[in-house]
Amino acid sequence: MPSIEGSDVRKLIVACDAGMGSSAMLAGTLRGQLKKQNVTVEHKPVNEIPADADVIVVHEGLADRARGIAPDKPIVGFKVFLGDPAVTKVVNAIKDGGIING
Amino acid sequence: MGEQSSLTELLDVSAIDLGARAASKEDAVRACGDKLVEIGAVGPAYVEAMLERERTISTYVGEGVAIPHGTLAGKDAVVRDALCYLRFSDPVDWGGEEVTVCVGIAAAGDGHVDVLAALAQVLMDPEQAAALRAAQRPEDVLAALAPREEEEVST
């Protein structure tokens, strides 16, 4: 299972099917939460995950597709769009350090 | 990230319906799609894409709000970026959750991301979320979704 140290994350991708609704909303929220960190937050359709992504946050239902597209990257699945504990863990690891497994 | 559209550019008063009715989740998604067609934001094919998207993964985001939108394939049917706002007189069962408000999304680009982030901000504060759900006039909806002042300073 790929992992990364939170403080090494420079690019976080929120992926979903169209990259227009829920992922855009979550990306906007994370961008606010990570404003003070040296991290780029982008939202992308799952089949357009960029090669330089460090960690990918994706709805559980799309996690397998994301793993097929980016097998070497940590993929963090979430269930709810706002306030999911898995996403909070990623934010905290980026802010305070800690390993992100995915 | 590219240029951001303002809330009033994306959400026209004519796209706000505060007395919508839907018997099911599918009905509600269709109502959002029909509204987006009516205001000229999408072609009719987009409505099917919205239903398809909803079948794959629910667009319920919390606090009684869902954000129906199309699939990647459905983007071709988007004429211009726009939102619609439907408030249902009776809550709609959304796979076990109760939905009172749908914010339907049509977007080919990324100009609507700030507005969605503002919506997320509102929904993470139960009091603001309740005020949004209770909004009785279109101007109250726009006020509830308007960017907060401290956010304007920081951007």
What residue spans define the domains of chain B?
A: 9-146
pLDDT given for residue A37 in this prediction = 95
Low-confidence ranges of chain B (pLDDT < 70): 1-2, 148-155
Query: Of A21, A59, A80, which has the smallest distance from its Cβ to B62's Cβ?
Result: A80
What pairs with residue A76 in β-bridges? A57
Conformational region of residue A12, where left means phi above 0, alpha means psi within -120 to 50, and beta covers everything else: beta
pLDDT given for residue B12 in this prediction = 96
pLDDT given for residue B151 in this prediction = 46
Instruction: Sort out which chain B residues have CB atoms less than 8 A from A24's CB and list them.
Output: 107, 110, 112-113, 116
**A18–B75 C-beta distance less than 8 A:** yes
Axis-axis angle for helices B45-56, B25-38 (nearest 10): 150
Q: Are B106 and B32 in contact (CB under 8 A)?
A: no
Specify the residue for token string 């990257």: A73
The Cα A19–Cα A25 span in angstroms is 9
User: Which among A71, A100, A84 is positioned nearest to A11, based on CA atoms?
Assistant: A100
pLDDT given for residue B38 in this prediction = 98
A20 vs B58 pLDDT, higher one: B58
- The residue of B56, B59, B113, B115 whose CB has the most chain A CBs within 10 angstroms, and thus the best one to mutate to test that interface, is B113
A&B contacts, CB < 8 Å: 85
Is B112 one of the annotated active-site residues of the chain?
no
Q: State whether residue A101 is helix, strand or coil.
A: strand
Asked if the C-beta of A59 comes within 8 angstroms of chain B's C-beta atoms, the answer is: yes
The Cα B24–Cα B30 span in angstroms is 10
pLDDT given for residue B1 in this prediction = 54
CATH entry 3.30.930.10 includes domain B9-146: no
The Cα A98–Cα B155 span in angstroms is 29
**A17–B57 C-beta distance less than 8 A:** yes
B152 vs A97 pLDDT, higher one: A97
Asked if the C-beta of B52 comes within 8 angstroms of chain A's C-beta atoms, the answer is: no
At A52-95, the pLDDT tens digits run 999 999 999 899 999 999 999 999 999 988 889 999 999 999 99
**Domain A3-96 in CATH: superfamily?**
Response regulator (3.40.50.2300)
Query: Would you kindly state where each structural domain of chain A is located, as residue ranges?
Result: 3-96
Entry pTM: 0.87
